[in-house]
Structure 1
């Protein structure tokens, strides 16, 4: 990450009920050298999560009476604005914001807050979206609740927690299923939410532009899966793409299928441009810009879609039509 980056890094922690989110945040607070502002979202009028988080020197803020992903998103923006102003005026000091969403939250609107609100874009930068899951019970959650699938689909890092409660065979099958839902996410196995913080903080896995600079080949996988309602699709193309055609296609795609597209991101080889064109989107919101030069790397366009009921054949046909004449 650029040391001159003025924006505040944000770690979003999701996960179904009982997955170990609060324990994970306590682990962060205990072992990081950063000063952390924690925003806790407790569903209901009476919250208890802020009481469970160990009170050190961190700023703990709780948002009640709803879920961040729906009716209290304005409260989230107000809270973040207050934090940013207080930091600029040196009223409080912190290096990072950690947001713990309720176990019933769809992460998409939380992520969109940092993409669509101008003030948020200027002051904050998503470092990563971490999804914790209970290795013993996640299979049942995936069958019963759409939120559990969404939390996995939007994650950059999947923390498979409570691995000591399952067999190796169970764990192997679970990992295979998770890879089918979201092959672009990195996975960490853990017990009691204990994770090496170097794997989850300061990695800027959500910031695709930074990720490309660190590892230009990170999207280089060619898998597509359809086993779950939420699945993924990866596409590659060695021929250069026409930027006008690409813009028309993506604009049409988000208008027609935006609600079904959870995450989509790509590193593209555009005709007449010597730099990588990096873009990513969440549902109806997407943005792209030129980034680093290709240099000696192979100029191959790579896209990853994660969404609900993806039509692989149709998406691939539409993508191929974006090839420059």
Structure 2
């Protein structure tokens, strides 16, 4: 049986997760989706579109979607669903996990890597994060969970953009890019999102399909976060209106390492192993395309917290410049130590 794709939907309280989910579930797309609600006493999924006996854990919906609320462990629920699918008791093609607004998506993502049984049944496709344009700055300032949700995202949807000025929206987008340059951003209106922007994003695939993340591999102004955007910054998207320049010093930040020299595989492995040991809990996402000594193929590498893995990608093209590029997104990571260690892991 082929792997069941899973999508994690996260975002702070009130950011519009349920609206987006409702939209996805009620659209006539012909897909059967199992929804797992991982909520703590929030209003559970759209009582109006579900015909449900609340004591029943799994609810079949009119368009073939099924919803279940996690009352125990996520792992158990996923196993239960996979088992029912194998036995033909339930028919669904993919799973969406809606986390509570206060959740750190990290442990949810790790479930897919740490448990063999889950890894044999599911493929984690991506983490989608909803950000409420109107309240985001306050939430990001005050709540680490909100910052982590941004740091983990493979795709960011900005809701309620119509409630803020264009200038405020651009400032928010700039802030989010600073925290996570690898997640594309899109302003959405009342959860109206094309399914192609929600499913099969392959944000977690360690595979040769580098086009899953085109911006990640292009030289782009926002990836060069070697300068802090302080008061004298002349970055065009800052909009220096009358006193309108807010500098947010978020603890979730990203930085990029680039080199034209090849990595020594053993040295790199030792260094990353040591780093992940010490800073793993603060490393939200890291990802790269590496030029490794001893192979004529690209090495695709990525990790979440302490878990990392790599795969051989396609061969370097004729005349293509062999270069490594890695992005790290984390909480107060020691950039100098990381950059220096990576530099020392080169041939």
Could you tell me the TM-score, scaled by structure 2's length?
A: 0.85
Distance of 1:210 and 1:82 partners within structure 2 = 31
2:232 equivalent in structure 1: none
User: Match for 1:29 among 21, 25, 34?
Assistant: 25
CA 128–214 in structure 1, closer or farther in 2 if over 3 Å, else same = closer
* Residue number in structure 1 paired with 2:224: 223
| Post-superposition offset of 1:291 | 2.4
CA-CA distance at 1:237 after TM superposition = 0.9
| Aligned residue pairs, count | 310
* Superposed CA offset, 1:79-124 (max 9, x none): 1111111112221111110000000100000000011111111111
Residue 80, structure 1, aligned to residue 85, structure 2: no
Asked if the contact 2:34/2:92 (under 8 Å) is kept, the reply is: yes
Secondary structure, counterpart of 1:209 in structure 2: coil
- Residue 128 of structure 1 and its aligned partner are, at CA, apart by 1.3
| More off after superposition, 306-315 vs 236-245 | 306-315
Q: For the residues of structure 2 that align with 1:304 and 1:94, how far apart are their CA atoms?
A: 35
Q: Secondary structure at the match of 2:80?
A: helix
Once residues 215 and 177 of structure 2 are traced to their aligned partners in structure 1, the CA distance between those partners, rounded to angstroms, is 18
Tell whether 2:323 aligns with 1:286. Answer: no
Q: How far 1:241 sits from its partner (Å)? A: 0.7
Say if 1:213 and 1:292, in contact at 8 Å, map to a contact too: no
Of 243-252 and 197-206, deviating more is 197-206
| 1:311 shift after superposition | 2.1
- Provide the secondary structure at the position in 1 that maps to 2:47: helix
Could you say which residue in structure 2 is the equivalent of 1:159?
Answer: 157
Whether 1:170 and 2:177 are equivalent positions in the alignment is no
Tell me the distance in 2 between the aligned counterparts of 1:237 and 1:228.
27
For structure 1, the 5+ residue unaligned runs are 65-71
Residue aligning to 1:276: 298
Do the aligned partners of residues 52 and 182 (structure 1) sit closer, same or farther apart at CA in structure 2, a change above 3 Å counting?
farther
Distance of 1:135 and 1:240 partners within structure 2 = 42
Aligned alpha-carbon RMSD (Å): 1.9
How far the C-alpha of 1:217 sits from its partner, in A, is: 7.0
TM-fit CA distance, 1:208: 3.9
Larger Rg: 2
Deviation at 1:47, TM superposition (A): 5.7
Secondary structure class of the residue paired with 1:171? helix
| Offset of residue 34 of structure 1 | 1.2
The answer for the alignment partner of 2:136 in structure 1 is 138
Query: What does residue 246 of structure 1 align with?
Result: 268
Distance in 2 of aligned mates of 1:21 and 1:94:
21
Worse-superposed segment, 294-303 or 76-85: 294-303
Moved more, 143-152 or 27-36: 27-36
